[in-house]
Structure 1
């Protein structure tokens, strides 16, 4: 079964809007686990607009040995204030998986993947360090990426396909082309020996079609849509709905 990893960034956004401790990100994680998710994802950024370093640490303490813990982020973003940098956080909490994403402060959300020709040598030492601390390494890539030999050569174990364009095309009623790109990228990655994750703008409406098109899909990371839907149906019910789709 494809693992559901719930991204809790939006819980932190809501909490930060009042500058207090509620809603609790650890309580939200516990609710998602109780409802059947197999993992928790966070994406700390240097500007700390949502998840903060202390959230990363608190979640690590409660999740260890229970479900997978996936930390996303830009490994090239330097430390800033109390944000020590992605690799420093990973060394400290040793998550199950680190998903490397080429985002920046100017982006509202992640909106593109790595260029595996241009970026691979910069990524090599970072991947080596993450593997050395026992974390699985996944790279965020665009649908349509075709050659994964360089990623395999530096030790990457998974890719995460950026599914934003697919989700937008699905909502417009014309997802065939974007889904075909995702399917081809997944197939080529699997043939190269990589497992395939996916994430961004996946929701209850478009997830079933996506999963059916990609045999062996290892994991989906879903946050924005899931938390939005939970406002109407409740977090427990919504997580259970996603788990059922993935079954």
Structure 2
């Protein structure tokens, strides 16, 4: 069954826009878990634009208390700076179930592409090994069209996370079939190489069902922006429950 990990970055964006502690990231995450979410995802960035290192520590404790998975995303190449110790030190301290490595930079509004293994593979390999030594499952963010996505297995990764932004755009245009075929093919290639398949970015209540019904054996979807946006209208618990219903129906 596909598992739903809720990304709570957007709660932190709203909190940081005003300062203080409201809305409370920890309370929002607990609400998602109470509604049945299978895990929590965060993507701390060096510029602290949303999730802070302090949030990561608190959410690690929360997810351990609930016995659910904690997924920390981030750029493993980004150096530490004040307020951000670096992705690997955060993982060493919190020992998340999963570390998802993403090649984003400070200038990116959001993650919008996967790794180039020809360029990044040599640097990734020792970092993946270090994360594995912490007990983390390691997933690499990749484009569905990457001709060398199987290389993730050779680098030591356990999974890939398919960057689903192009699928979401195609779905919005009412022409998802070519994108679905591409993603289904990418998932099969990864699975044939021994990799598990996750998916994330711009997945929503509107497009998730068709994606899961077409792309085989997706183990986990990480959803934040759309889910939190929809929760402004329907409420957080009801929105999480609605996503879980889509997942169950697609299965």
List alignment gaps of at least 5 residues for structure 1. Answer: none
1:118 Cα deviation from its structure 2 partner: 1.8
Q: Structure 2 length normalisation: TM-score?
A: 0.97
Tell me whether 16-25 or 139-148 shows the greater mean CA deviation.
Answer: 139-148
Correspondence 1:232 to 2:240: no
Q: What is the distance in 1 between the residues matched to 2:78 and 2:185? A: 31
The total of aligned residue pairs comes to 247
Where 1:221 maps in the other structure, the secondary structure is strand
Partner in structure 1 of residue 190 of structure 2: 189
Q: What is the distance in 2 between the residues matched to 1:44 and 1:154? A: 24
Is the contact made by 1:99 and 1:139 (CA closer than 8 Å) also made in structure 2?
yes
Where 2:99 maps in the other structure, the secondary structure is strand
Tell me whether 139-148 or 27-36 shows the greater mean CA deviation.
Answer: 139-148
Partner in structure 1 of residue 125 of structure 2: 124
Where 1:98 maps in the other structure, the secondary structure is strand
Partner in structure 2 of residue 27 of structure 1: 27
Where 2:104 maps in the other structure, the secondary structure is coil
Tell me whether 57-66 or 104-113 shows the greater mean CA deviation.
Answer: 57-66
Is the contact made by 1:39 and 1:70 (CA closer than 8 Å) also made in structure 2?
yes
- Deviation above 4 Å: which 4+ runs of structure 1? none
Is the contact made by 2:164 and 2:201 (CA closer than 8 Å) also made in structure 1?
yes
Q: What is the distance in 1 between the residues matched to 2:213 and 2:31? A: 27
List alignment gaps of at least 5 residues for structure 2. Answer: none
Q: What is the distance in 1 between the residues matched to 2:83 and 2:227? A: 29
Partner in structure 2 of residue 11 of structure 1: 11
Per-residue Cα deviation, 1:159-190 (whole angstroms, up to 9, x for no partner): 00000010011001111111111111111000
Q: What is the distance in 2 between the residues matched to 1:64 and 1:214? A: 30
Q: How does 1:68-147 map to 2 (within 5 A)?
A: 68-147=69-148
Partner in structure 2 of residue 152 of structure 1: 153
Q: Structure 1 length normalisation: TM-score?
A: 0.98
Partner in structure 2 of residue 169 of structure 1: 170
Q: What is the distance in 1 between the residues matched to 2:6 and 2:79? A: 26
Is the contact made by 2:152 and 2:160 (CA closer than 8 Å) also made in structure 1?
no
Is the contact made by 1:142 and 1:161 (CA closer than 8 Å) also made in structure 2?
yes
Is the contact made by 1:98 and 1:137 (CA closer than 8 Å) also made in structure 2?
yes
Name the Cα RMSD after superposition.
Answer: 0.9
1:146 Cα deviation from its structure 2 partner: 3.6
Q: What is the distance in 1 between the residues matched to 2:214 and 2:16? A: 38
Per-residue Cα deviation, 1:105-145 (whole angstroms, up to 9, x for no partner): 11000000001222111100100000000000000000112
